[in-house]
Amino acid sequence: MTKSIRMDMVFAHSNDVVAREIDGMLIIVPLTAGVGDMEDDLFSLNETGTAIWNMLDNKKTMKEIIAGLKKEYKAGPGEITRDAIGIVEELLKRRMLVAATST
């Protein structure tokens, strides 16, 4: 799965979900059927996840997002890349994210 995420790829929030920021927490609410495992599932992202979610703007490539995270977070470069790819994979699997155009 990891190999399918390339550094030149661009991602956008899916129209199948609605993201809400409430009291400093990002809540992702399924809009269409089949996004959650159960019909009443809602989701939230951790701090890193929220930062990455906000960068997934249909413009930035994965490479640019990871470069941005490296400036902001103290962590090994390998860890940041793994986290970014891990989050994108999970969001794609849950239909919360869609792959946009490659640059």
Partner 1 sequence: MKEKKYVVKKDLDSHLLWKGEGPPQAQLDIELTERCNNTCIHCSINMPANDSNTRSRELDTEEWKNILRQAGDLGIMTVRFTGGEPLLRHDFPELYLFARRLGLTVLLFTNARLITPQIADLLADIPPLEDIEISVYGMKKESYEAVTGVTGSYAEFRNGIQSLLDRKIPFVVKGALLPPNKNETGEFNAWAATIPWMENSPPLCSMFFELRGRRDSAARNSMISRLRVSPDEAMVILTKHPESYRREMAEFFDRFASPSNDRLFTCGIGPACVDAYGALQPCLALRHPDLTYDLKKGTLQEALTSVFPRLREMRAANQLYLERCARCFLKAMCDQCPAKSWSEHGTLDTPVEYFCKIAHAQALFLGLVKKGEQAWKVQDREERINNLKRRITA
Sites of contact with partner 1 (CB under 8 A): 18-20, 22-25, 27-33, 36-37, 39-46, 48-49, 83, 86-87, 90-91, 94, 96
Residue with Cβ nearer partner 1 (12 or 27): 27
Residue 27 or 100: the one with the smaller Cβ distance to partner 1 is: 27
Residues in the chain: 103
Q: Which of 15, 21, 26 is nearest to 87 (CA)?
A: 26
For partner 1, give the closer residue by CB, 32 or 58: 32
| Spatial separation of the C-alpha atoms in residues 96 and 41, rounded to whole Å | 13
The least distance separating partner 1 from the CB of residue 16, rounded to whole angstroms, comes to: 10
Q: How far is the CB of 58 from partner 1 (least distance, A)?
A: 19
Q: Which is nearer to partner 1, 10 or 96 (CB)?
A: 96
- What DSSP element (H or E) covers 53? helix 47-55
Q: Is 29 helix (H, G, I), strand (E, B) or coil?
A: strand
Instruction: Retrieve residue 51's tokens.
Output: 């930062």
